[in-house]
């Protein structure tokens, strides 16, 4: 038996709000061991919604709807479902009483339009909403099970946990779960990693799937089993082999970030870090300080956007700035050394580059970035990257900061 998620709302199609409901439900379905292969977003249009219901009911057995349960004319989910399956809507006085009570608690009076929310398809059960005024339904009709929820994430999630999960478990779901582990890699292309692990991509249980996002490559390992412990046992040997294949490119799993991993390595080594940033404008420092407890190893940084700051605070030679430009290997090295020396840290990292959309030249195109790394022992290195003129400014800055962290990670591991 498979489930399908259908999110209703023109605001989702326009991108006005982020569809958090689909992500939440996908995770929850996996935890119950319910496969789902399709997600659909449809606007507040009854004809298009009916088309979606028709397609979904032919290929899935559990249809989960979010959105379209409010009191306004564009909230059409419940009445469209009733029309599609050819049943009348029945008014439930207990729902009207519940809505009136909730309005009274807020010092407000229920409006006539709210009575619309008390109309439920004949034969459907009420899925109560303890947090809001829009109840959902649980309806077994024409060979499918339908659950509807309001689009407000907090209300939907509470209704899911309080009523939907126990109901689905009563149908026999939850005896098996789908557990996933996500391995993360930096400094390797998705295609290159996929080639190395190609023998694993046809496994049945667990399965392995590669995907990439903003310079990072991930391998998701998913196993279906009767318990999380059993699923982890299925995943463990595959995970070990994939880590070995990934080598130094593998940096962490699941909720790990490069900043978290680097922080742990610095903490374990009893070492400290400072940063000097130009084109990233504090982005690297923000990544580091987003980690709780980072003050134990991250002392601070200098945002040296203007050359005068590079000279006065970091000790960069004016001659080198004039002859080589701020975006150069030598300046990156001096920035790293300057911040490492002035803040008296074990490590100093610098970033200087051209993030765009302007400022590029034939010899120094947009996306050209230099990363400097200085150690307390006097060793200093620089690395050149060309992230590409066609990439957005924010992505170039993100890649620069993450790549700088990855260089330090590899150095600490060695």
CATH of the domain at 50: 3.40.980.10
Co-location of 107 and 16 in the same domain: yes
Q: Report, as an integer, the average pLDDT of 130-144.
A: 94
pLDDT at 370: 98
Name the pLDDT band for 106 (thresholds 50, 70, 90): confident
Residue with tokens 């339908």: 146
CATH of the domain at 329: 3.90.950.20
Residue 177's pLDDT is what? 86
In sign, the C-alpha dihedral spanning 316, 318, 321, 324 is negative
The Cβ of residue 311 has, within 10 Å, a number of other Cβ atoms equal to: 17
Closest CA to 271 of 347, 372, 377: 347
Q: Is there a single domain that holds both residue 342 and residue 265?
A: yes
Tokens of 28: 């929850």
Question: Do residue 304 and residue 349 come from a single domain?
Answer: yes
| Domain shared by 99 and 194, yes or no | no
Instruction: Report whether pLDDT(172) > 90.
Output: no
Q: Indicate whether 272 and 396 sit together in one domain.
A: yes
Q: Edge-to-edge, what's the strand order for the sheet holding 36-42?
A: 36-42, 3-8, 62-66, 144-149, 136-141, 125-127
CATH number at residue 216: 3.30.70.2860
Task: Examine the domain organization and report whether 189 and 266 are in the same domain.
Answer: no
- Are residues 300 and 191 part of one domain? no
Q: Do 138 and 236 fall into the same domain?
A: no
**Residue 260 three-state SS:** helix
Same domain, 320 and 271: yes
Please give the C-alpha separations between residue 270 and each of 209, 273, 290, 355, in angstroms, as whole numbers.
37, 11, 20, 34
Instruction: Please report which confidence band the pLDDT of residue 297 belongs to, taking 50, 70 and 90 as the band edges.
Output: very high
Which of 203, 224, 253 terminates a domain? The answer is: 253
31 has a pLDDT exceeding 90: no
Q: Give the C-alpha separation, 107 to 100, whole Å.
A: 10
pLDDT of residue 176: 85
Question: Under a CB-based contact definition with an 8 Å cutoff, are residues 85 and 121 in contact?
Answer: yes
Which residue, 253, 272, 289, sits at the end of a domain? 253
* 277 lies in the same domain as 234: no
Into how many domains does the chain fold? Answer: 3
* DSSP summary character for residue 44: S
Residue-wise pLDDT for 174-210, tens only, equals 788 889 999 999 999 999 999 999 999 999 999 999 9
- As a whole number, mean pLDDT of residues 61-80 equals 94
Q: Are both 91 and 213 inside the same structural domain?
A: no
User: For the chain, what is the mean pLDDT?
Assistant: 95
Q: Which residue(s) pair with 198 in the sheet? A: none
Confirm if 392 and 227 have CB atoms less than 8 A apart.
Answer: no
pLDDT tens for residues 268-286?
A: 999 999 999 999 999 999 9
Strand order in the sheet with 347-353: 298-303, 273-277, 347-353, 368-375, 380-386
The residue among 205, 221, 253 that closes a domain is: 253
Q: What does the pLDDT look like over 35-51, one tens digit per residue?
A: 899 999 999 999 999 99
Mean pLDDT in residue range 222-249 = 96
Across the strands, what pairs with 273? 298, 347
Task: Looking at the structure, tell me whether residues 193 and 308 fall in a common domain.
Answer: no
Domain of 199 in residue numbering reads as 179-253
């Amino acid at each position: 038996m498979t489930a399908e998620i259908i999110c209703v709302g023109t605001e989702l199609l326009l991108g006005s709000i982020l569809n958090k409901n689909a992500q939440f439900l996908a995770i929850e379905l996996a935890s119950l061991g319910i496969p789902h292969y399709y997600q659909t977003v449809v606007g507040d249009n009854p004809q298009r919604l009916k088309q979606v219901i028709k397609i979904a009911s032919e290929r899935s057995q559990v249809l989960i709807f979010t959105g379209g349960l409010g009191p306004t004319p564009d909230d059409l989910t419940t009445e469209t479902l009733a029309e599609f399956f050819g049943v009348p809507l029945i008014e439930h006085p207990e729902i009207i009483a519940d809505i009136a009570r909730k309005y009274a608690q807020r010092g407000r009076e229920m409006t006539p339009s709210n009575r619309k929310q008390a109309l439920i398809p004949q034969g459907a059960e009420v899925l109560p909403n303890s947090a809001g005024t829009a109840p959902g339904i649980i309806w077994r009709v024409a060979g499918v099970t339908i659950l509807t929820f309001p689009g407000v994430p907090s209300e939907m999630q509470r209704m899911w946990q309080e009523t939907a999960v126990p109901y689905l478990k009563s149908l026999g779901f939850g005896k098996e779960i789908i557990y996933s582990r996500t391995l993360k890699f930096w400094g390797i292309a998705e295609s290159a990693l996929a080639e190395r692990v190609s023998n694993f991509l046809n496994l049945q249980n667990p399965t392995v799937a590669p995907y990439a996002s903003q310079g990072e490559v991930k391998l998701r390992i998913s196993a279906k089993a009767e318990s999380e412990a059993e699923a982890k046992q299925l995943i463990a040997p595959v995970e070990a082999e994939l880590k070995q294949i990934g080598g130094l490119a593998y940096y962490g799993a699941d909720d790990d970030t490069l900043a978290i991993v680097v922080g742990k390595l610095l903490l374990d080594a009893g070492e400290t870090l400072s940063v000097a940033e130009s084109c990233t404008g504090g982005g690297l420092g923000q990544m580091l300080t987003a980690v709780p407890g980072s003050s134990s190893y991250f002392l601070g940084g200098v945002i040296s956007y203007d050359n005068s700051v590079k000279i006065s605070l970091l000790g960069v030679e004016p001659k080198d700035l004039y002859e080589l430009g701020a975006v150069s290997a030598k300046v990156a090295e001096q920035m790293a050394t300057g911040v490492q020396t002035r803040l008296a840290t074990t490590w100093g990292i610098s970033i200087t580059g051209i993030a765009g959309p302007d400022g590029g030249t034939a010899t120094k195109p947009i996306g050209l970035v230099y990363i400097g790394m200085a150690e307390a022992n006097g060793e200093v290195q620089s690395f050149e990257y060309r992230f590409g003129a066609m990439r957005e400014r924010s992505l170039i800055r993100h890649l620069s900061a993450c790549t700088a962290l990855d260089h330090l990670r590899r150095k600490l591991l060695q």
